[in-house]
Amino acid sequence: MPGFELFGDLERKHVNDVLDNGVLMRYGFDGMRNGYWKAKELESEIEKTFGVEHAQLVSSGTAAVSVALASAGIGAGDEVIMPTFTFVASFEAIMMVGATPILVDIDDTLTLDPEAVKNAITPKTKAVMVVHMCGSMANLNALKSICDTHKLTLIEDACQAIGGTYNNRALGSIGDLGCFSFDFVKTITCGEGGAVITNNKDFYTNSDHYSDHGHDHVGNDRGAETHPFLGYNFRISELNAAVGLAQIQRLSEFLEIQKKNYTVLRNALSQIPEVTFRTVPEGGEESYAFLNFFLPDLETSRRASKALKEAGVDGCFHYYDNNWHYVRKWDHLKSATSLYPVSNEVKEGLAYLSEKDFSQSDHFIGRNISALIKLSWTEEEVKDRAQRMVEAITSAIN
């Protein structure tokens, strides 16, 4: 990742199709299109690629999570369980629909700990949002069993793990709803874009309408469409979809490169006795977008992170001190700081964060470094990077 590293003729071809007909909007203007419907084509490709019945394109991964929540009827008075390690978009989307994010610990998969999820369920719990961070997945069998037992909606945020699989099923396709991001630094990119996937016809219909101001999309006269319920504008453009259409047709190519480069780096780091790797649940295969490894303790990881930077090894993230991806630095969430008033119910619902102990998550994130896998590296560059990583990490340990 990311897919922009390998832009080529196919991306240009699909974009030029849109520029030639001049229709940048995904809906309407039928007579001008010359038969090109890039968003519809991309939705069909997503359905085939990930083995689902329905796909709805939206404007971003954040929009995908927001639309998924709304499509499942989640809102005011509801609680949504989510991990301490994710992107800020997870709790932003939950709060946007008026629900309360309930953060719980991760385990050595770097994703939701099923036991922590069970312990967090209350009568207000409506959904569990599992986030497949940095290319790999949670124990989905355990989480699905919990959701089935308690009649909860399981939402998969697979924005950072597109192409990964669990028991031979695509990540994103296993829960009630799945979410993808196609932003500029994802394995396949539209520049900006995202998708909701599902096998539930009602959820799909809701997402289709909700993401376009509530339009029902019946007939071919946009002005005559009705609005069964309120919606918002989360539409993708034809230009973005055109780029994504080319990229998804190249997904297997990208995944093969990621796996090859990941394997070289992992084999090299495996020589260091103090290095261990994140747990991938039985039956799972990563997307190989990141190589995630643990060092013995927090201070060693901090030294290693600094040493890697000094060695010129970019794209290695120690998320314990990161502002965007880990609960420690989410002060604006803990204080419910917003440009507009947050409901008293949500404010009161977030009060637990001021005293909540996330030491289990600290134990894993404090020791973890996530190394980005690039598509554009040459074979020599990967070997050189592996050597420099080994030297930097070894120096931090000794």
The tens digit of pLDDT for each residue in 15-63 reads: 999 999 999 999 999 999 999 999 999 999 999 999 999 999 999 999 9
Known catalytic membership, residue 40: no
pLDDT-based confidence at 191, cuts 50/70/90?
very high
Residues 197 and 262 in one domain: no
Question: 276-299: buried (b, 16+ CB within 10 Å) or exposed (e) per residue?
Answer: eebbbbeebbbbbbbbbbbbeebe
Which residue(s) pair with 131 in the sheet? 157
Considering the domain architecture, whether residues 326 and 297 belong to the same structural domain is answered as: yes
| pLDDT tens profile 138-171 | 999 999 999 999 999 999 999 999 999 999 999 9
Asked if 201 and 236 sit in the same domain, the reply is: yes
Domain shared by 169 and 30, yes or no? yes
DSSP state of 241: H
Looking at the 3D structure of the chain, how many domains does it have?
2
Kindly tell me if the per-residue pLDDT of 398 is higher than 90.
no
Q: What is the mean pLDDT of residues 241-266?
A: 98
Catalytic hit among 186, 201, 334, 356: 186
What SS3 state is found at 306?
A: helix
Task: Please tell me whether the peptide bond between 2 and the residue prior to it is cis, using omega within 30 degrees of 0.
Answer: yes
Whether 95 and 49 map to the same domain: the answer is yes
Which CATH number fits the domain that encloses residue 166? 3.40.640.10
The pLDDT score that the predictor gives to residue 326 is: 98
Domain final position from 250, 279, 300: 250
| Same domain assignment for residues 218 and 280 | no
193: left (phi over 0), alpha (psi -120 to 50) or beta: left
Q: At 393, which CATH number?
A: 3.90.1150.10
Reply yes or no on whether the pLDDT at 348 is more than 80.
yes
CB 98 within 8 A of CB 346: yes
Report the pLDDT value the prediction gives residue 1, as an integer from 0 to 100: 77
For residues 242 and 278, membership in a common domain is answered with: no
Q: What is the DSSP string of 21-42?
A: HT--BSSS-GGGSTT--HHHHH
Range of the domain at 305: 252-397
Q: What is the mean pLDDT of residues 192-204?
A: 98
For residue range 374-389, what is the model confidence (pLDDT) as tens digits?
Answer: 999 999 999 999 999 9
d(CA 90, CA 347): 17
> Exposed e or buried b for every residue in 163-173, given b needs 16+ CB within 10 A?
bbbbeeebbbb
Q: Is the pLDDT of residue 2 over 90?
A: no
Per-residue model confidence as pLDDT tens digits over 104-126: 999 999 999 999 999 999 999 99
- pLDDT band, very low/low/confident/very high, at 96 (cuts 50, 70, 90): very high
Residues 90 and 46 reside in one and the same domain: yes
**Is the same domain home to 205 and 135?**
yes
Are 61 and 101 part of one and the same domain?
yes
Domain boundary among 250, 270, 289: 250
Looking at 194, 216, 250, the residue that finishes a domain is 250
